[in-house]
Structure 1
Amino acid sequence: MIDQSTVQKIFDTAQIDEVVSDFVTLRKRGVNFLGLCPFHNEKTPSFTVSPAKGIYKCFGCGKGGNSVNFVMEHEHLDYVGALKYLGKKYHIDIVDEELSPEQEQRKNDRESMMIVNSFAQKYFSEKLLQSEEGMAVGMSYLRERGFREDIIKKFQLGFCLDSWNAFSEQAIQSGYKKQFLVQTGLSIDKEKGLIDRFKGRVLFPIHGIAGRTLGFGGRILKKDPKAAKYLNSPESEVYHKSRILYGIYQAKKSMVQNDKCYLVEGYTDVLSFHQAGIENVVASSGTALTADQIRLVKRFTNNMTIIYDGDPAGIKASLRGIDLVLEQELNVKVLLLPEGEDPDSFSRTMGATELSQYIEKNETDFIVFKTNLLLADAKNDPVKRANLIIDIVRSIAIIPDNIIRSVYVKECSSILNVDERVLYTEINKIKGRLQEEAWKNEQRSNIELQAQEDSIVNQSIIRADNDCDLEERALIRLLLNFGKEELFHNQNEQGEGESILVGNYIVDELERDELGSVNESYQRVFDEYTSNKFNPDFEAKTFFRDHTDSKIVQLAADIMSEPHQLSGMWTRNDSYIESEEMKLKEIVPKLVNEYKGKKVKLLIEEVVKEMQQVQESGDTDRLMELMKQKMVLDQIKNAISKELGNRTVF
């Protein structure tokens, strides 16, 4: 584990808006920043970053936390890995120490999934190269496709036997846990036991940047109209299809050396290019490009050439997705292969030098390619031509760099035979509409966010597993926001004063009456606040915001994102209370008593329920005992009601 002073230095240095802006485009909104959430698909921004509080919070999917927690979520790192990431970013030297049990467990679970994937890769490769079925079926297919054995071994290809559970049984016998076999998607848990997800398929291991196996793609070899031709590992803690590119590990060195990346569609396209001697190639595995995949390429080069086969319909369908690449400021070129060819087949017809020269000679700037493609389709139709101009201008308008944009305007002006001023006029119109749309979205988002913020406390009441969730959450909010505020100032007979703080009062009251939460995270907050209440350097808000437990971080971020105005829970008989800060002496004891009252009410309900059961059984001794318990609880209930102003409010 990293020593605490270094951890604190990282937290103090890593500004949340700086960290998040490496991955999310943020716009200023008052004292906060707003952007599109990177953890779920959304068109209207609901992702808020608060530099003052040091947190991020998405009001769409609910995720929230600090800068370290964000890196953990976004980059799929454990706690220590995220600290190392930020330490490197801010040039902070890190020395590892021993991990805590919780951190060790989380790290071990993720590591176990990686180890299971590694075992599976070796098992599948062995079956391909050494088993009778693997050689007869899997290797025959790969050799038929023309792949050399060195390429097969380079990409660690494999074969899963056409048996319901041969792999799963071998994995269990080898000591691997069912839990991780299922979590990685290698095995499917059925009533009769585990079955192999990839049975009867050739396997293409999908590696991360560091070369570790994250998941698999499997191609079926027998004809089965009900089965998908290709099957991928499901999303898991270690594998996210939209965040990885097939072949990135084998390509990254060549991408840097050549300052270029070739993007193809499938696994075999990548293999064929490598076999031809070109290694700076990756595949999107048949999915539309995502921002995460583009950023992955951008880590190694700013130049991308997308290679298409000769299917015009497929090309036109994918054009809109490439605009995303332009937004990420990559230099994009397109290569259209001869009709009837795909990257796999075409690369087999020539060597590395010849293939590289062909690509260099025939690749075209994306905007020019798109213009010529659509122009051929428009022909002499004036309406289609007008729509073409609008379509092209829309792509040019999203390019962030002014110089690159002006170059494309000049080229397209020449190709389309349209005055540059006309194109600039259209670009300005589109940019204006985009800005107006962004402004409207921001306004709508502001309204939606405010509504979501106002309802957060009320929404929490639906948590069925904790009848006191609302009260406990409110107590924690007071601990975080006002724990060090003075609640009372008592004087003894000698005239010596004692200051009673909000936080100490709350945890002391809970401890005195032995009150606890069924929510583990809530109870941990109460316990750790109690342990630190006499520590003069203890700041609850930063302590729990920067906690090592991601559940505690999420809880702190949620509560810190809630509005400071009181909800309807505190407005009785239409009496409005301006703010918590102004009414702490009233709010804190009232909340503690309401919480106690709720607990008593629940105990009474349990006693009454048991009394009904005992009456039916005829156990008079137990019935008398329960009646005494209820009498005591009723007295406590009445006493609390008096404290709350002679009103039963629970």
Structure 2
Amino acid sequence: MIDQATIDRILDAAQIVDVVSEFVTLRRRGVNYIGLCPFHNEKTPSFSVSPSKGLCKCFSCGKGGNVVHFIMEHEQLSYYEALKWLAKKYNIEIKERELTEEEKQAHSLRESLFVVNQFAAEYFQDILYNNIDGQRIGMTYLRGRGFRDDIIKKFQLGYSTDSHDALAKEAIRKGYKEDFLVKTGLCYRKDDGSLRDRFWGRVIFPVHTLSGKVVAFGGRVLSAQTKNVQMKYVNSPESEIYHKSRELYGIYFAKQAIVRQDRCFLVEGYTDVISMHQSGIENVVASSGTALTSEQIRMIHRFTNNITVLYDGDGAGIKASIRGIDMLLEEGMNIKVCLLPDGDDPDSFARKHNATDYQAYINEHEVDFIRFKTNLLMEEAGKDPIKRASLISSIVRSISVIPDAIVRSVYIRECSQLLQMEEKILVEATAKLIEQARENKFKEQQRQKLRQQRTDMNAQRQESPALPSSAETSTAPAYTEGNFPPPTEVPVLDESVIPAEAYMPPTDSILPPQNEGNIPEVPDSYQSYIPTEGNEKKLFYAKEEELVRMLIRYGEKVACYEETEDGETVPRTVIDLIDSDLKADNIRFHDALHRRILEEAIRHEQDTGFSAERYFITHPEAEISQLAANLVSDRYQLSKYHSKAQKIITDEERLYELIPRLLLDFKLSIVEEELAQILRSLADPNIANDPQRCMEMMQRYKELHETQSLMAQKAGDRVILKL
């Protein structure tokens, strides 16, 4: 475990703009920065980074948080692993105790697989440099391809001997588990149960993630050994950490050059990338010999909008270029295509030319996609009218996937001139395809929604077999206070009328693992007829969330001064005001996590230097820290120029009026929601036929009515003095 002092040092040193910039291209907007979200597919930047608050958030998909949360989500790390990542970046020494055997076994599978891959990468490099076969065969081959020693070391190339189980034996000798060797794909089991190396007798190309972790390997058999080997290249299979469609070879080494030059070259294979790096062109990545995928395109799009596709000049290369064009266009990329001279690929061409000549050739021969595709297909179509019609349809289909209407219009005009066709016809054809695509997308969304509903319903039946089946339920109108259903209409419950405590996990899973201070632990006895789940869109939930937001942002701040019966003026913090006001009316937050946050705030309020915002944003439990970061994130923030030009009253300056109003709004809304829920429940025949249960609910209804009527009176009893 990492001590709190070290965590504080890491958080103080870590600059969120600096960290996020390693993975996302940011540009300043006012006092914040924006960029394309790295967590979902988008074409318009909605990912905001606030250097003053140390927070980031995507206002489209909602993901974000502080610098630790960003690394956790982006690199799929645990909280403490993310802290170690940041500590390493900022050269902060971490002192932690030795992990117990139980804790070692509890490490995530993903981390274990990365550890095994790192061992394998080092093993292959050691063989290349220190084994006689590695030097005689592996190094001779790489140098024969023209690779310099510094480039071989940079890309961490290695070699595996002809022994079919050398890696497996060495890994087991050093204590690595057989299961992890199999799950990474480094080894596989034979029929007799023994392990066999996947990459024996090959030159090894490690594949790195965006952050530099070894996620997979590619192995090329050498020419002298191809006699009994069918495949020239063998690649790691799909695993928990490796999905080929999401990885780009060389992205770790290219990302800074891509940002610097605002351009990315896309090639096909490992050696293409390495040779271009050696020639001085570093902003290059490879699709690893597979068809280009949308995930790979989005990864490039994080760093640049401009891409040049480089492929062989033969027929296969040309067809590969065409297949990837529509996908690139759909992602809003600005595409150029450059075909190398026939007989050359990016690797061989790079070995013949230096960076200046290579760049000059690309600038001279690259063309935009519309000219490339038109010239290529026109040559194939010749004078055949059917083929020409097919050509036009293919080009229009490519134009229709472009998301920007202005860019589409420009391409339609250019296409009209090249094909000598009326622009109006092309516009109509494009519009028809766009409308058809929208309709197909809508239908697919409806199908997915229906499948999800069925999945949720089946899961609910398995978890709560006592609930009525779909055949026994129906959609019922919502009845509020005073709006009883007519006798012929009997609403059927969407949720069980069992109090919310029945849905909650055991108390020990909600409260902290150990009691802090001398405050006795109190069981969470919250009861409500409002269902525990599915309230995010309800009015009371929004009011409750807003109160929690104020609690986290300003919890330790003095909200007001309250005059007691003795005439004393007592300062009231936001934490104290929220806690005492809710208790006065016997009301609590409905969400268990919100209750947990209030309980911890009360326990720590008197701690020296306590800051609610810092405490909850850096909370060791990811669920709490993530919620805190989301709640304190603002999409917009006034610039310093606006602030100077006009005095703006902040929330902190009006806590004396804001907190009481929010409390009253929340209490009224949650009481109204529970009253409505009780009315719906009383209309259920199962409840109506249970006199005792019916009486309990009617008594609860009466109590809530009394509470509701007292709220206005209590609001007028306090004398609040402005700070």
Answer yes or no: same fold by TM over 0.5. yes
Distance in 2 (alpha carbons) for counterparts of 1:202 and 1:473:
60
> Cα gap change, 1:587/1:315 in structure 2, threshold over 3 Å: closer, same or farther?
farther
1:347-368 CA-to-partner distances (Å, cap 9, x unmatched) read 1111110000000110111222
Name 1:539's counterpart in structure 2: 591
Moved more, 378-387 or 430-439: 430-439
Q: CA deviation at 1:243?
A: 1.4
* 2:335 partner letter: V
User: Would you say the 8 A contact 2:263–2:306 is kept in 1?
Assistant: yes
Does the 8 Å contact 1:128/1:159 carry over to 2?
yes
Q: Secondary structure at 1:270's aligned position in 2?
A: helix
For residue 135 of structure 1, what is the aligned residue in structure 2? 135
Give the CA deviation at 1:170. Answer: 1.5
CA shift in 2, pair 1:108/1:24, >3 Å:
same
Deviations 1:189-232 (A, max 9, x none): 44443322211111001112222222111112222555432111
Distance, in Å, in 2 between the alignment partners of 1:268 and 1:337 is 16
Classify the secondary structure of the residue corresponding to 2:336.
Answer: strand
C-alpha displacement of 1:534? 3.0
For 2:402 and 2:153, locate their aligned partners in 1 and report how far apart those are by CA, in whole Å.
41
CA distance, structure 1, for counterparts of residue 73 and residue 155 of structure 2? 27
Which whole-Å CA distance do the structure 1 matches of 2:688 and 2:196 have between them?
57
What is the letter of the counterpart of residue 502 of structure 1? P
CA contact (8 A) 1:2 1:80 kept: no
Matches of 1:344 and 1:423, distance apart in 2: 39
Maintained 8 Å contact 2:157/2:206: yes
Per the normalisation by structure 1, the TM-score is 0.61
**Alpha-carbon spacing, 1:306–1:588, altered in 2? closer, same or farther (3 Å):** farther
Give, as a single letter, the amino acid of the residue that structure 1 aligns with 2:123. Answer: Y
Instruction: Specify the SS of the correspondent of 1:348.
Output: helix
Separation in structure 2 between the aligned mates of residue 180 and residue 351 of structure 1, nearest angstrom: 43
- SS state at 1:113 partner: helix
- Equivalent residue in structure 2 for 1:294, among 297, 319, 322: 297
Quick check: 1:121 aligned with 2:91? no
Aligned to 1:157: 157
Alpha-carbon shift at residue 547 of structure 1 (Å): 12
8 Å contact kept, 1:347–1:355? yes
SS of the residue corresponding to residue 352 of structure 2 reads coil
Q: Is the counterpart of residue 208 in structure 1 residue 209 in structure 2?
A: yes
Q: Is the contact between residue 532 and residue 538 of structure 1 (CA under 8 Å) also seen in structure 2?
A: no
Are the aligned partners of 1:182 and 1:188 in contact in 2 as well (CA < 8 Å)?
Answer: yes
Moved more, 235-244 or 120-129: 235-244
**1:175, CA displacement in angstroms?**
3.2
- CA gap of 1:385–1:501, structure 2 versus 1, over 3 A, is closer
Query: Are 1:229 and 2:228 an aligned pair?
Result: no
1:256 is matched with 259
Query: 1:230-275: per-residue Cα shift (whole Å, max 9, x none)?
Result: 1112223332222111011111121112111110000011111112
Distance in 2, matches of 1:181 and 1:309, equals: 36
Once residues 333 and 106 of structure 2 are traced to their aligned partners in structure 1, the CA distance between those partners, rounded to angstroms, is 36
Other-structure match for 2:410: 407
Distance 1:73 1:264 in 2: 30
CA gap of 1:281–1:506, structure 2 versus 1, over 3 A, is closer
Query: CA-to-partner distance for each residue in 1:551-607, whole Å, 9 max, x for gaps?
Result: xx9xxxxxxxxxxxxxxxxxxxxxxxx976855984999xxxxxxxxxxxxxxxxxx
Matched, 1:23 2:14: no
| Change over 3 Å in CA distance of 1:72–1:384 after alignment to 2 | farther
For residues 543 and 225 of structure 1, the distance between their equivalents in structure 2, rounded to whole angstroms, comes to 67
Check whether the contact 2:321–2:337 (CA below 8 A) recurs between aligned residues: no
CA 1:582/1:532 → structure 2, altered by over 3 Å: closer, same or farther? farther
Q: How many residues align?
A: 464
The alpha-carbon deviation at position 71 of structure 1 amounts to: 8.3
Q: Deviations over 1:390-409 (max 9, x none)?
A: 11111111111122222212
Which amino acid in structure 1 is aligned with residue 524 of structure 2?
K
1:315 partnered with 2:321: no
Shift in Å at residue 278 of structure 1? 1.0
Q: What residue in structure 2 maps to residue 199 of structure 1? A: 200
Task: Map 1:30-109 to 2 at 5 A.
Answer: 75=74, 77-80=76-79, 109=109
Which moved further from structure 2: 124-133 or 178-187? Answer: 178-187
CA distance in 1, matches of 2:78, 2:688: 37
Q: Which residue of structure 1 aligns with residue 110 of structure 2?
A: 110
Q: What amino acid maps onto 1:23 in structure 2?
A: H
Aligned to 1:172: 172
Distance (Å, rounded) in 1 between the aligned partners of 2:308 and 2:325: 11
In structure 2, the partner of 1:378 is: 381
**Residue type at the aligned position of 1:245:** L
CA contact (8 A) 1:79 1:103 kept: no
Aligned in 2, Cα 1:310/1:585: closer, same or farther, shift over 3 Å? same
Q: Return closer, same or farther for 1:414/1:137 CA change in 2, 3 Å cut-off.
A: same
Residues 163, 200 of structure 2: 8 Å contact kept: yes
Q: Which whole-Å CA distance do the structure 2 matches of 1:21 and 1:359 have between them? A: 29
Q: 1:542 to 1:342 in 2, by over 3 A?
A: farther
- 2:568: which partner in 1? none
2:503 maps to 1:502: no
1:257 is paired with a residue of what secondary structure?
helix
Q: In the TM superposition, what are the counterparts of 1:456-495 in structure 2 within 5 Å?
A: 456-458=459-461, 460=462, 470-471=464-465
| Residue of structure 1 equivalent to 2:509 | 528
Tell me the residue number matched to 1:425. Answer: 428
Partner of 2:610: none
- CA shift digits 1:406-449 (9 cap, x unpaired): 22122211211112222112111111222222333344445444
Contact 1:164 1:195 in 2 (8 A): yes
Q: Is the 8 A contact 1:502 1:588 kept in 2?
A: no
Q: 1:360 to 1:317 in 2, by over 3 A?
A: closer
Within 1, Cα distance between the matches of 2:424 and 2:383?
22
Q: CA RMSD in A?
A: 4.8
- Aligned residue type for 1:326: L
Q: Secondary structure in 2 aligned to 1:235? A: coil
- In 2: Cα distance, 1:392 partner to 1:81 partner: 51
Q: Of 365, 371, 381, which aligns to 1:362?
A: 365
SS at match of 1:223: helix
CA distance in structure 2 between the partners assigned to 1:543 and 1:297 by the alignment: 42
Structure 1's unaligned 5+ residue stretches are: 7-17, 27-50, 57-65, 88-95, 461-468, 475-499, 508-523, 554-577, 590-650
Secondary structure, aligned partner of 1:404: helix
Which amino acid in the other structure matches residue 168 of structure 1?
A
- Residues 21, 345 of structure 1: CA spacing in aligned structure 2 closer, same or farther, 3 A cutoff? closer
SS of the residue aligned with 1:172? helix
In structure 1, distance between residues paired with 2:595 and 2:269: 48
Q: Distance in 1 between matches of 2:38 and 2:150?
A: 42
Q: What is aligned with 1:239?
A: 242
Query: What does residue range 548-627 of structure 1 map to in structure 2 within 5 Å?
Result: 583=684, 586=687
Map Cα deviations across residues 370-393 of structure 1 (whole Å, 9 max, x no partner): 111111111111111111111111
Residue correspondence of structure 1 range 438-453 to structure 2 within 5 A: 438-453=441-456
Q: State the TM-score, normalized to the length of structure 2.
A: 0.55
Residue 316 of structure 1, CA deviation? 2.4
* Percent of paired sites with the same residue: 44
Q: Using a 3 Å threshold, how does the CA distance of structure 1 residues 340 and 209 change in structure 2: closer, same or farther?
A: same
1:306/1:335 contact within 8 Å kept: yes
Counterpart position of 1:572: none
After TM superposition, list the pairs within 5 Å mapping 1:177-192 onto structure 2: 177-190=177-190, 191-192=192-193
Amino acid corresponding to residue 176 of structure 1 in structure 2: Y
Which residue of structure 2 aligns with residue 148 of structure 1?
A: 148
Q: Structure 1 CA distance, aligned partners of 2:467 and 2:114? A: 37
Query: CA offset at residue 529 of structure 1?
Result: 6.3
Q: In the aligned structure 2, how far is the partner of 1:407 from the partner of 1:371?
A: 15
